[in-house]
Amino acid sequence: MIISVASGKGGTGKTMVATSLALSLKDSHKVVLLDCDVEEPNDHILLKPNITGSEPVNLPVPRVMEDICTRCGKCAEICAYHVIAVLGHLLTFPQLCHGCGACSYLCPEKAISEEPRQTGVVEWGHADGIGFVRGILNVGEAMAPPVIRKVKEYANGSSVVMERRKDANLRLQV
Ligand code: SF4
Ligand code: SF4
């Protein structure tokens, strides 16, 4: 069972509801609480978990080999997020990159390789019998979804998953 506590607005009580539900269910179920509000995770303030591990979240971003590149402009044309511009030489804006891999796949000269760029971190631990996972997006990063996806990977094997997120939709999935 997955219970999502969600609101698009801050200050509506997501943290209080999610942590209270997790505490009320922990004696009858194996509960893991996922803090998916990666721009502002704060479930830890109420639960005070013991953090036991962490993993960086990386996105593969393009790295252009200038000596091979012919400035044909194909990569700039294909990128839906305007990460690459060809202005005599190539300019890239890695913070806009979604890591889709299309530019390196379609470059006719194979002049683009990919290198990891860290956008955040996932931490895990436990608090009073509750499994705890949170994602933290690096300051200034715009790409929250990859960090949220990584947080959710840690929900496996739990009978009740509480997730707190900034979202316009509230979901109860059984
Ligand atoms: S597609 Fe490849 S060769 Fe063409 S501009 Fe981009 S990196 Fe250079
Ligand atoms: S990986 Fe995708 S989003 Fe990133 S620069 Fe290449 S085409 Fe654009």
φ, ψ for residue 8, nearest 5 deg: -80, -10
Is residue 104 within 8 A of residue 63, CB to CB? The reply is: no
For the domain made up of 59-117, give the CATH fold.
Answer: Alpha-Beta Plaits (3.30.70)
d(CA 18, CA 37): 12
Please tell me the predicted confidence (pLDDT) of residue 61. Answer: 94
How far apart are alpha carbons 94 and 91 in whole angstroms? Answer: 10
34 Cβ closer than 6 Å to some ligand 2 atom: no
Q: Whose CA is nearest to atom 8 of ligand 1?
A: 69
Q: What is the pLDDT of residue 163?
A: 66
Report how far residue 172's alpha carbon sits from residue 103's, in angstroms, rounded to the nearest whole number: 38
Q: What is the pLDDT of residue 88?
A: 80
Is the C-beta atom of 65 inside 6 A of ligand 1? Answer: no
- Shortest-distance atom of ligand 2 to CA 84: 5
Instruction: Give distance in angstroms: CA of 170 to centre of ligand 2.
Output: 31
- Rounded to whole angstroms, what are the CA distances from 86 to 81, 96, 107? 14, 16, 13
Check whether domain 2-57+118-173 has CATH 3.40.50.720, yes or no? no
Write out the DSSP string of 17-57. Answer: HHHHHHHHHTTTS-EEEEE--TTS--HHHHH--EEEEEEEE
Tell me, using a 6 A CB cutoff, whether residue 17 lines ligand 2.
no
Q: Is 31 in the pocket of ligand 2 (CB under 6 A)?
A: no
Residue 15 DSSP one-character state: H
| 110 Cα nearest atom in ligand 1 | 2
How many Å apart are CA 148 and CA 152, to the nearest integer? 6
CA of 89 to the centre of ligand 2 (A): 17
Q: What is the pLDDT of residue 168?
A: 46
Please give the chain's pLDDT, 174 residues, in tens.
888 888 877 788 888 999 999 999 999 888 999 999 999 898 999 999 999 999 999 999 999 999 999 999 999 999 999 999 998 888 999 989 999 999 999 999 999 999 999 999 999 999 988 999 999 999 988 888 899 999 988 876 666 676 666 664 444 333
- H-run or E-run covering 112: strand 112-127
- Residue 79 Cβ contacting ligand 1 at under 6 Å: no
Domain boundaries, the chain: 2-57+118-173, 59-117
